[in-house]
Structure 1
Amino acid sequence: MQIRYYKEYSRYLDRFMEFKVYGHAGRPIVIFPCQSGRFYDWEDRNMCNLAAPWIDAGKLQIFTVDSIDSESWDNHGPERPRIEMQERWYNYICEEFTPRLLEINREQGPDHSGRILLGGASMGGGHAVNFYLRRPDLYNGTIALSGLYSSRMFFGNYMDDLVYRNSPCDYMRNFPTDHPYMELYAQADKFIMCCGQGAWEAELLASTRELQQVLESKGIHPIVDIWGSDVSHDWPWWEKQWVYFLQMILGNA
């Protein structure tokens, strides 16, 4: 497996941001880390090795990005500076990182513009769905495992324009069904939200079902896969779900 490390300056965040790329070619997927996690966590948790059959076959290229959750969602300071940091990170991912991803991805394969997947577990799953719903012109689906899709856990009853933009359960409730994005949502390869019903999954399961209800009321139909009462909010289950959904999207390696 080809693995490359990058450290590049972001004008939106005014700092150097790190990321890694696994694989030489194939369908690109951006992986967001869990709460306040790092770009190397997906590798450390064996998730890249589990995807090796698809990576080595040139079907998948994984891009693992760094988070700034400790300065935004996971920060206990005043709300507005926290959500402003989240929005700067959002702009970094969309306007700087994604074009860079496409440059790297084109080096040894076809142009996958418009077919970028997003993924992650826990808060990473929440980020994946938020980015997809806000920018289906850039991204084409998700593998979101045990995601959180509302701002309430981290911002309580506080709401402003930027918190609203980053809380899918809120902004999708008011989404106009004649919006041009509706056609893009219909063209998604796989918009997957998965959650278990076991230990530490209750709030995530409620959030998943809430967003499912909101989306379906708009005529948007994600794949919502609810696993059993033995399925906990933890890596051993995310490993199984990750491989299962890769096979669903990419077929056998």
Structure 2
Amino acid sequence: METQYFKFYSSSLNKDMECKVYGHAGRPVLFIPCQDGRFFDFENYKMADVWSPWIESGQVMVFAIDTIDKETWSDTWGNAEWRIDRYEQWISYIVYEMVPFIQNMVRERNGIYANTGIMSFGCSLGATHAANLYYRFPNLFDSMLALSGIYTAEYGFGTFMNEKVYQNSPVHYLANLPEDHYFIPMYNNNNGGRAVICVGQGAWEVPETTHQMADILRSKGIHTWVDFWGYDCAHDWDWWYKQVAYYVPWLLGQR
């Protein structure tokens, strides 16, 4: 498996950011680690092994990045307004710095020139971020795999609410999305509407906001596949491996 390491200065975050790229060609996948995670978790927690059939065959290239959760969602005793401003800077880093980097590399490797839609992927709080990116920026993210996420910003910001918290809380902004909003056909037509939200109902799982998302998405006519696994399915890597193996072929249009 071809791997490359990069470190570059982010003007959005005013700090150096690191990432690692797995693969030599194919559709781009943005991997966001679990809470407080690092880019190397994709490899260290053996998720690279699970994705290896599609990476090594040139079907996908995975771009693993860092979070800044310790400064934002996890610092629940910190100033909420400062933390959401910082989180929005991380969103800007992804949208204005990582996305062009990803698109340029994928165009170079695949020999194509059109803009390339990206699959957002994460587990736990990484799934929260992945879903937020997918629903906020359907012009950039055309598919999603979100496993065991929580889809309200209340998880990180409690009762504090301002415009920036709202725009990063899918259960809030999707509930108020007008039924004729132009995002809806984008969700449904991008990559054939192939997007997945999945949660188990076993140990350490928190399925309540996934149920909320299912109701909201159904009411808006948004065709995300919202799936609930059984009471034996725990909030843990072994189950996420199984879910990746189950959903990725569908996300790639193989079934």
Q: TM-score range by the shorter chain?
A: over 0.9
* Contact kept? 2:201, 2:233, Cα under 8 Å: yes
Spell out, residue by residue over 1:75-122, the C-alpha distance to the aligned partner (whole angstroms, 9 max, x if none): 120100000000000011011110001111122214472421000100
For 1:177, which of 171, 176, 179 is the aligned residue?
Answer: 179
Q: Which residue is 2:92 aligned to?
A: 91
**What are the equivalent positions in structure 2 for 1:6-155 lying under 5 Å apart?**
6-75=6-75, 76-111=77-112, 113-155=115-157
- Normalising by structure 2, we get a TM-score of 0.95
- Number of aligned pairs? 250
Query: Following the alignment from structure 2 to structure 1, what is the Cα–Cα distance between the partners of residues 246 and 190?
Result: 18
Query: Following the alignment from structure 2 to structure 1, what is the Cα–Cα distance between the partners of residues 253 and 215?
Result: 29
* Contact kept? 1:47, 1:239, Cα under 8 Å: yes
Counterpart secondary structure, 2:190: coil
Counterpart secondary structure, 1:141: strand
Pick which of 87-96 and 146-155 moved more: 146-155
Query: Following the alignment from structure 1 to structure 2, what is the Cα–Cα distance between the partners of residues 140 and 225?
Result: 19
Q: How far off is 1:148 after superposition?
A: 1.0
Query: Following the alignment from structure 1 to structure 2, what is the Cα–Cα distance between the partners of residues 188 and 225?
Result: 20
* Contact kept? 1:28, 1:60, Cα under 8 Å: yes
Q: Which residue is 2:190 aligned to?
A: 188
Q: How far off is 1:249 after superposition?
A: 2.2
Query: Following the alignment from structure 1 to structure 2, what is the Cα–Cα distance between the partners of residues 237 and 177?
Result: 35
Counterpart secondary structure, 1:113: coil
Identity over aligned pairs, percent: 42
Query: Following the alignment from structure 1 to structure 2, what is the Cα–Cα distance between the partners of residues 14 and 163?
Result: 21
* Contact kept? 2:106, 2:116, Cα under 8 Å: no
Query: Following the alignment from structure 1 to structure 2, what is the Cα–Cα distance between the partners of residues 224 and 180?
Result: 21
Query: Following the alignment from structure 1 to structure 2, what is the Cα–Cα distance between the partners of residues 86 and 115?
Result: 23
Counterpart secondary structure, 2:221: coil
Q: Is 2:221 aligned against 1:219?
A: yes
Spell out, residue by residue over 1:44-63, the C-alpha distance to the aligned partner (whole angstroms, 9 max, x if none): 11111111111111101000
Amino acid in the other structure paired with 2:45: R
For 1:198, which of 198, 202, 209 is the aligned residue?
Answer: 202
Counterpart secondary structure, 1:96: helix
Runs of 4+ in 1 over 6 A off after TM superposition: none
Query: Following the alignment from structure 2 to structure 1, what is the Cα–Cα distance between the partners of residues 200 and 115?
Result: 32
Counterpart secondary structure, 2:174: helix
* Contact kept? 1:114, 1:137, Cα under 8 Å: no
Query: Following the alignment from structure 2 to structure 1, what is the Cα–Cα distance between the partners of residues 14 and 167?
Result: 22
Query: Following the alignment from structure 1 to structure 2, what is the Cα–Cα distance between the partners of residues 113 and 148?
Result: 30
Query: Following the alignment from structure 1 to structure 2, what is the Cα–Cα distance between the partners of residues 214 and 40?
Result: 34
* Contact kept? 2:143, 2:251, Cα under 8 Å: no
Q: How far off is 1:251 after superposition?
A: 5.9
Amino acid in the other structure paired with 1:237: W
Give the superposed CA RMSD. 1.2
Query: Following the alignment from structure 2 to structure 1, what is the Cα–Cα distance between the partners of residues 155 and 102?
Result: 31
Query: Following the alignment from structure 1 to structure 2, what is the Cα–Cα distance between the partners of residues 23 and 218?
Result: 36
Query: Following the alignment from structure 1 to structure 2, what is the Cα–Cα distance between the partners of residues 153 and 187?
Result: 30
Pick which of 242-251 and 72-81 moved more: 242-251
Amino acid in the other structure paired with 1:5: Y
Spell out, residue by residue over 1:226-248, the C-alpha distance to the aligned partner (whole angstroms, 9 max, x if none): 11110000001001111111122
Pick which of 49-58 and 227-236 moved more: 49-58
Unaligned runs of 5+ in 2: none
Spell out, residue by residue over 1:186-217, the C-alpha distance to the aligned partner (whole angstroms, 9 max, x if none): 1133110011010011x2x1111111111211
Q: How far off is 1:178 after superposition?
A: 1.8
Q: 1:156 to 1:145 in 2, by over 3 A?
A: same
